[in-house]
Amino acid sequence: MKHAPFIAVEGPIGAGKTTLATMLAGELQLPVIKEIVEENPFLDKFYQNMDDWSFQLEMFFLCNRYKQLEDTVNQYINKGKPVIADYHIYKNLIFGERTLKGTKREKYREIYHVLTDDLPKPDIILYIRADLDTLLARIAKRGRQFEEDIAPAYLQQLIEDYDAAMASLALTEPSTVIVTIDGNHVDFVENKEDFTRVASQLKELMK
């Protein structure tokens, strides 16, 4: 790879993005950028009433990620330093297209493009795919109260949205390498060999 890579870990809710990004950052001695979750004032309300709160929530995520990405560009990417994030800003579009309707969706889509089109895109995406049962088990294991009532149908839609989004990114961003990890079977938490394999693959791509 000619320049220091910008790496993003992606996948639907509870797939293991933060866990894998943190483990890889430790192994490869990389700075890690993590999503801000606990201070989000709208998540709780959103899960209780998606129609009422989706616009506020999506805008909050978008503005936060925009600021984080700006900082990441200044601190690492423009200085030629590799960095790993536990998300790709593109997820705003994945979620926004799913949770917003009508004119709000159109306005949000426009704002998304205005804010992000000229920003650097990740060179490598590690995409953790996992099925509904795996995600539900991991969300339950993590035990965040506001996620207790996530509808399985919403999660299932997101699983499919993520698959479609990764296929679309492969076409629209051909310079991005997308590595798909089978999150149902590759257990980078409990199985050291599984983690070593993912870490070695990433090291190879970063050369």
Ligand X SMILES: Nc1nc(=O)c2ncn([C@H]3C[C@H](O)[C@@H](CO)O3)c2[nH]1
Ligand Y SMILES: Nc1ncnc2c1ncn2[C@@H]1O[C@H](COP(=O)(O)OP(=O)(O)OP(=O)(O)O)[C@@H](O)[C@H]1O
Cβ atoms of residues 65 and 118 within 8 Å: no
Asked if 118 is an active-site residue, the reply is: no
* Residue 58 found at the interface with ligand Y (CB under 6 A): no
* Residue 86 found at the interface with ligand Y (CB under 6 A): yes
Distances (CA, A) of 187 to 8, 101, 165: 19, 37, 24
Residue tagged 């599984």 (tokens): 194
Stretch binding ligand Y (CB under 6 A), from 55-63, 119-127, 154-162, 184-192 = 184-192
Binding partner selected for residue 112 from ligand Y, ligand X, none, CB under the kind-specific 5 to 8 Å limit: none
For residue 126, the SS3 value is: strand
CA dihedral 60, 63, 65, 70 (to 10 degrees): -160
The whole-angstrom separation of Cα 85 and Cα 18 is: 8
Q: Is residue 116 a known part of a binding site?
A: no
Q: Is residue 130 a known part of a binding site?
A: no
The DSSP element (H or E) to which 201 belongs, if any, is helix 192-206
Binding partner selected for residue 162 from ligand Y, ligand X, none, CB under the kind-specific 5 to 8 Å limit: none
| Closest chain position to ligand X (CB) | 95
User: Of 15 and 69, which CB lies nearer to ligand Y in the complex structure?
Assistant: 15
**What is the DSSP secondary structure assignment for residue 77, as one 8-state letter?**
G
* Angle (CA) 197 199 202, round 5°: 110
* Residue 84 found at the interface with ligand Y (CB under 6 A): no
The least distance separating ligand Y from the CB of residue 59, rounded to whole angstroms, comes to: 18
* Residue 19 found at the interface with ligand Y (CB under 6 A): yes
Site for ligand X in 48-87 (CB under 6 A): 57-58, 61
Bridge partner residues of 129 (DSSP)? 182
Q: Which of 27, 35, 161, 173 binds ligand Y (CB under 6 A)?
A: 35
Binding-site sequence positions for ATP: 11-19, 138-142
The catalytic site residues sit at: 86
